[in-house]
Structure 1
Amino acid sequence: MRSEMRLIRARERYGALLTASITVLILEAVLGGIALTVWTWTQVSPDLPYNAMNYVFWAVMAVVLAVVGVVAIAVASVGLVIPLAQVAGWLGRAWWWIPVVAASVSLAPVFGWALAHHAGFRGALGMWLAAAAGWAVPALVVRRLLLPDRPRIGGGAMFGWLALYGTLAVVTAVALAGIGRWAGIGYEPPRMSVERLAGTWTDGEGGTLVLGKDGRATATGLNMYDFEGTKEECSGAGSWSYQPGGGAWDQGVGVTVEGCESGFSWEFYGTEEQPRLFSYIGDPDSWDTYELERRG
């Protein structure tokens, strides 16, 4: 009877450890996803369009990634987080043994991967710190359940506490991200003008577009694409005009060249120092772009 009770208690204890680890790792993934989304807002990139099929595709991908992610998190909990807490406990009762062991275990694989992919020292250092923190945080929560002089907490109670505080953390993160977005934190293309646009733009493959301050335009070997993505080379003289629009994302340039079937319609992105013109290759929903950068 005693052996059976011990076995039941051991199972309950391990279940609590597993529940705690999985819950914390899921919360880390959600908060990491929010942070990644905010980071993408700050990156220099064109304003690519979305349609209903884009949302359907990403919704399906989110479900698939969620299922795969939960399985991966369970495997990581069993193979990494719980053993990490146990090894740190064997080394000493001080809590800082867990980040020390996590950093030591993560050092070789992270820097090895970074070296193989030419990520650079700063990139490798950031990845190493993120990996160490990713294992250390759930292991610190698991450590609380392994301490012999602390009251035992069941898996359900641990899940309840983590779910409560985790939900508060996620709601706070989403609110802060929304406030930041509303306040205008994020990337916007540079504001252009006729004076700033005038000059020579090149696609880096021999195609050029010369925009004069007088509204004249000269194209040499530029590519034009129809809705199907069929390419046609365009050369000749014509005219151009700047459309300021209602904001940074609404501005554009219209170019008409004699001898070409249709005109060019360009949008902007880039930086103040290095603005870029881009147009779509075929269907805009394909997210393929043809880009020009200023020469000189």
Structure 2
Amino acid sequence: MWAARPILAAACTLYMAAVLGVEINGFVELAAPAFGPPDAPGAVLLITPFLVCFGGPFALVASLLLVLPTVSAARWAGTRFTGHDAWWWVPVIASVVAAAGTAALGTAWRPGPGPSALVWLTGATLLTAAALVARRTALRGGRVRHVLGWGAVAAVAVFAIGTGVFATGLVPEYRPPRVDAAVLSGSWTDGEGGTLRLAADGTAHAEGLTDHAEAYKDDAEPTAAKYRCSGRGTWSYEAGDPTTWDQRVRIRIKDCHGLGEPYGWRIGGTPDRLELGSEYGEPDAPDWYALTRR
């Protein structure tokens, strides 16, 4: 079981599953509300060979620390409880291992029941698939080329199906709603006690907003009172033609220098639930401080 071929076959399975996951997530992001346009899902097909440099080592480590022990535990359980090695012990053990991992993550991040169930199901599925491939490789020989070949076919198929779904309009691609200054006037909240009032005459009033940009610069928790700001100022709306992605709301509050600067607040959400988003963090993978209409 602990030979090179089963280890490599399991690692290739995990790697191709990660490629498919990134690709599918890219299509999901096309339809999900956001403050900025997502990357094209097809880009993963072009950079897949380069991902080996980063994903390959992680897949090998996971193969050694998770997949092979799962197969060994499944063999032990089958021999111990049924008297023979049976493949269906693999998903049983994988489900237990995934549950333990989900519980550990839940203790640290507390994601909630829905996300926790999704994490458990995803982990159990990936671990089961990789463990079954490793088990089969150990019993019958090479599977590496089959895994890579069928994984590449699956990646192309996902790209073709996803492209067709969006091209035909079966699933609409998300675009921020077109707004104007009159629509934006009113009260906004961050859901954590902070509020923003945009008046029709162009004045703005902030109360307890969080300056995430300043907190990020200081590498500090944004919940600290020093990063809460209040004050009065002005605001304006920029249509940003030709696409709704380019719309901006410029808000200038004297004591809230980091809010929305230098890029302005972006429009997000849906027509019946508008959102304003202020970017902070890494430029290539920003986080967003979001306000919603009250």
Q: Normalization by structure 1: what TM-score? A: 0.64
The one-letter amino acid of 2:184's match is: L
User: Which residue identity is paired with 2:98?
Assistant: S
Alignment counterpart, residue 247 of structure 1, candidates 239, 243, 247: 243
Report the CA distance between 1:135 and its aligned residue.
Answer: 1.4
2:161 equivalent to 1:176: yes
Relative to structure 1, is the Cα distance of residues 281 and 235 closer, same or farther in structure 2, using a 3 angstrom cutoff?
Answer: farther
Cα deviation for residue 195 of structure 1 reads 4.2
Q: Secondary structure at the match of 1:275?
A: strand
For the 8 Å contact 2:15–2:55, the answer to whether it is kept is no
Residue of structure 1 in register with 2:271 after alignment: 272
| C-alpha spacing 1:81/1:205, structure 2 compared with 1 (3 Å) | closer
Question: 5+ unaligned residues in a row in structure 1: which ranges?
Answer: 1-9, 51-57
Letter in 2 for 1:210: L
The farther-off stretch of 96-105 and 264-273 is 264-273
Deviations 1:152-180 (A, max 9, x none): 43x3xx22222221110122223334445
1:254 Cα deviation after fit = 6.0
Secondary structure of 1:191's aligned partner: coil
**Cα offsets for 1:77-132 (capped at 9, x unmatched):** 66435425533653445432221222133333423432453222232222222221
Structure 2: tracts of 5 or more residues without a match? 40-46, 218-226, 254-260
Task: Report what 2:55 is aligned to.
Answer: 66
Secondary structure of residue in 2 paired with 1:36: helix
Deviation of 1:189 after TM superposition, in Å, equals: 2.1
Contact 1:27–1:166 (8 Å) recurs in 2 = yes
Q: How much does 1:181 deviate?
A: 5.4
Larger Rg: 1
Q: How many residues align?
A: 260
1:131 maps to which of 123, 134, 140: 123
Aligned to 2:42: none
Corresponding position of 2:106: 114
Percent of matched pairs sharing the same residue:
26
Which residue in the other structure is 1:97 paired with?
89
Q: How big is the shift at 1:268?
A: 0.8
Per the alignment, residue 147 of structure 2 pairs with 162
Q: Deviations over 1:222-272 (max 9, x none)?
A: 99x9xx99x998745x78456273333233446799xxxx99954311333
Matches within 5 A, 1:217-296: 217-220=202-205, 235=232, 240=236, 243=239, 245-253=241-249, 266-278=265-277, 287=286, 292-294=291-293, 296=294
Aligned partner of 1:53 in structure 2 is none
Q: Counterpart of 1:125 in structure 2: which amino acid?
A: A
Q: Do residues 197 (structure 1) and 193 (structure 2) align?
A: no
Task: State the shift of 1:198 in Å.
Answer: 3.0
CA 1:263–1:240: 2 relative to 1, 3 Å: farther
Aligned-pair Cα RMSD in Å: 4.7
